Amino acid sequence: MTNAPDNTNPKPSLDAIGKQMALDAAMENAKRLLRLETLDTRGRDALDFHEIPVNAIRDLIRDAFESGYRDGLHSGYRQGRSDACDEARGKEARTQPRNPDLVDRSTTDPTP
């Protein structure tokens, strides 16, 4: 008998735990904004189909967008994961975005 690690139920990473917590919070917020008891499928039309006001859908979309935008700002999307890792190792950080369309040409282009 060997003492091999049990890989059938690996311990979740902190990143996975954080994502799950954010998803759970978003689901609770959706239930609140849409005024629903549950987001689970219950197998009956009367329980699974709802009339939802347009303003509730708009508020839900706005909230989801703003939440994703805030999360992106805090997760280093501007540098990218590999650039952030390089910076953590002591390498110099990028000063220009990888996408050339995002470069501010007003400071780099000598023509008026």
The average pLDDT across 74-87 equals 60
Task: Answer for the pair 83, 93: CB distance below 8 angstroms, yes or no.
Answer: yes
Q: Where are the domains of the chain?
A: 14-91
Q: Is 19 a residue whose pLDDT tops 70?
A: yes
The average pLDDT across 89-103 equals 65
Computed over every residue of the chain, the mean pLDDT equals 76
The average pLDDT across 38-62 equals 93
The average pLDDT across 67-82 equals 65
Q: How confident is the model at residue 53 (pLDDT cuts 50, 70, 90)?
A: very high
In terms of Cα–Cα distance, which of 65, 64, 55 is closest to 35? 55
